Amino acid sequence: MRIGCIGGRAWLVTAEGQGVDIAAASGGTLPGDPQALYEKWDDVCAWARDVPADSYAPVDPATFELPVPRPRQVFAIGANYRAHAAEAGVEPPEQPVIFTKFPSCLTGPNDAVAIRHARVDWEVELVVVMGREARDIRAADAWDHVAGLSVGQDISERSIQRLGPMPQFSMAKSLPGFGPVGPVVVTPDEFDDPDDLGLGCAVNGVTMQQSRTGDFIFSVGALVEYISHLMPMYPGDLIFTGTPEGVGATRKPPIFLKPGDVLTTWVDGIGTLTNPITEEQSQ
């Protein structure tokens, strides 16, 4: 099952470019608000199994919007790929390194990202969308609490990140537009192995990152177990699961995003984000 957002409303969509408005097709028994959909996730899954084939109509991928627009919590994981930890010169962590991206930074899969700083970096990430409340969940049961997976960018301003005596992860990674997510949310059963997905990103058509989530230090199950033993997670919450090697800051010389660039980001089996980089206009 694939969930998208078009015109501020939740849609059930197919990989072949067909879709149906969920609230309309369900006769109003399910919400049109894409965020509210995750509060009724079991009902959504049950309904989607019986949608008639003739209910679907073509949809334009360029119309997809942020599929999870108002999560209560957005967790993010640092140094979660072995190769990325190596390029950053750090030892693989013994427990997940967790920070937060402020929900206000989230934006859609086709939206422009306006920047005004000189050291803005890319970080392709697999994003986990929770479908059920999770408290003290074992890793073996974690996927039962996941609604689906999406594509994300943890865009980062490296100068802000390194201000002061301690890293400023949350602030540097939460400027407006620094959290593109989409184009859809795909349920785990759509993948042969949701723990080993190919992902990558390109700037102006040049591939900068390309890896597989099989290089995770902490799997999705391990992350859900660790976080849910510290605090509850709620339907519609997000986990940005970390980025692989190939970020701009570790290149020699470093490379950063600039106005006029186009940042393209993908995860196999989910889809692609296409975010033009523009110059932020002064107020």
Domains and CATH numbers, the chain: 2-63 (no CATH), 74-279 (3.90.850.10)
The answer to pTM > 0.95 is yes
Q: What is the mean pLDDT of residues 79-88?
A: 89
The string of pLDDT tens digits covering residues 197-233 is 999 999 999 999 999 999 999 999 999 999 999 999 9
**Among the listed residues 11, 4, 1, 72, the one whose alpha carbon sits nearest the alpha carbon of residue 42:** 1
The string of pLDDT tens digits covering residues 153-163 is 999 999 999 88
Q: What is the DSSP string of 227-253?
A: HHHHS-B-TT-EEE----S--GGGSSS
CB 158 within 8 A of CB 115: no
Write down the pLDDT at residue 167.
82
Write down the pLDDT at residue 283.
62
- Residues in contact with 20: Cβ distance below 8 Å, sequence separation at least 6, in sequence order: 11, 12, 13, 51, 55, 56, 57
| Torsional sign, CA 67, 70, 72, 78 | positive
Residue 15 in this model has a pLDDT that exceeds 90: yes
Q: Tokens in use for 157?
A: 């301003």
Q: What is the mean pLDDT of residues 103-122?
A: 97
Residue 65 in this model has a pLDDT that exceeds 70: yes
